[in-house]
């Protein structure tokens, strides 16, 4: 049973997707997973096959690994929300096209505005370059990659939103390269520290 015709997706940002090739070819719209009131927003690239079938973000092998990774640093899905740049799966998991990103970007911006996360964690190379290029696909090739940027905190202006961005290795990459695991754990401690600092500042004001 597909969720594509659900009345909950009758708003301007969702309506932009309807009638597009990705929308027509996907099984489900994949909005996200986790706690939408949490302080941490994880953003990946796009849904994969399992996500498309179930209508949930990060439910495949990478998703299961993310659950384990969160557990290792004392967090759970209740402490984070996970979304993707695209809400519909690209055929054969190919890279999103520039026009597809343009169509899907308003929905992600809406999610960020509603959630007001203290930290946005871009998962992997593609999502990191997307944020650093302010969503402009043509500028993504000029951005540094995740190997250089992981765990580094930077404040960016993204479509008028002030975002504290911390790039993280993608959970799928850690499955294939276990040497990234200690780096991911150290980066998540930086994320937790940023959350702690922002809560302290809130108390002061």
pLDDT tens digits, 86-114: 999 999 989 888 899 999 999 999 999 99
Determine the average pLDDT of the residues in 58-87.
91
pLDDT value of position 84 = 96
Determine the average pLDDT of the residues in 55-72.
90
Residue ranges and CATH numbers for the domains of the chain are 7-204 (3.40.470.10)
Longest dimension (CA), the chain: 50
pLDDT tens digits, 107-141: 999 999 999 999 999 999 999 999 999 988 889 99
13 close to 107: Cβ distance less than 8 angstroms: yes
Most confidently modeled range among 79-88, 130-139, 158-167: 79-88
pLDDT value of position 60 = 84
**pLDDT class of 149 with cuts at 50, 70, 90:** very high
- The separation between the first and the last C-alpha atoms of the chain, rounded to the nearest angstrom, is 48
Determine the average pLDDT of the residues in 2-7.
95
Q: What are phi and psi of 83, to 5 degrees?
A: -135, 175
Q: Does residue 205 carry a pLDDT above 80? A: no
* pTM greater than the 0.85 cutoff: yes
Long-range contacts, 133-139 (Cβ 8 Å, 24+): 134/158, 134/159, 135/101, 135/105, 135/159, 137/96, 137/98, 137/101, 137/102, 138/98
Q: What is the DSSP letter of 57?
A: S
Q: What is the distance between the alpha carbons of residues 21 and 30, in angstroms, rounded to a whole number? A: 15
Determine the average pLDDT of the residues in 168-185.
94
pLDDT value of position 198 = 81
> Is beta strand 33-34 parallel, antiparallel or unpaired with respect to 154-158?
unpaired
pLDDT value of position 159 = 84
H-helix segments, the chain: 12-15, 21-25, 49-54, 61-72, 98-115, 124-132, 137-140, 146-149, 171-176, 181-204
Q: What is the distance between the alpha carbons of residues 127 and 176, in angstroms, rounded to a whole number? A: 19
Structure tokens at 121: 């964690």
By CB neighbour count within 10 A (0-12 exposed, 13-18 middle, 19+ buried), where does 103 fall? buried
Cα torsion angle, 177, 71, 167, 183, sign: negative
pLDDT value of position 61 = 86
pLDDT tens digits, 7-40: 999 999 999 999 999 999 999 999 999 999 999 9
């Amino acid at each position: 049973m597909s969720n594509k015709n659900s009345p909950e997706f009758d708003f301007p940002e969702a309506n932009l997707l309807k009638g597009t090739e990705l929308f027509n070819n996907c099984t489900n719209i994949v909005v996200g997973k986790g706690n939408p009131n949490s302080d941490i927003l994880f953003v990946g690239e796009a849904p994969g096959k399992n996500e498309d079938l179930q209508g949930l973000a990060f439910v495949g092998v990478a998703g299961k690994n993310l659950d384990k990774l969160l557990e290792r640093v004392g967090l759970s899905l209740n402490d984070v929300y996970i979304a993707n740049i695209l809400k519909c799966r690209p055929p054969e998991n190919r890279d999103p096209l520039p026009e597809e990103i343009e169509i899907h970007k308003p929905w992600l911006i809406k999610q960020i505005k509603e959630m007001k996360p203290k930290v946005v964690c871009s998962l992997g190379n593609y999502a990191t370059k997307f944020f650093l290029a302010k969503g402009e696909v043509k500028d993504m090739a000029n951005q540094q990659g995740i190997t250089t940027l992981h765990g580094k905190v930077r404040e960016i202006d993204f479509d008028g939103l002030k975002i504290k961005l911390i790039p993280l290795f993608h959970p799928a990459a850690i499955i294939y390269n276990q040497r990234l695991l200690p780096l991911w754990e150290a980066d998540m401690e930086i994320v937790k520290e940023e959350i702690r600092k922002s809560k302290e500042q809130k108390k002061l004001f």
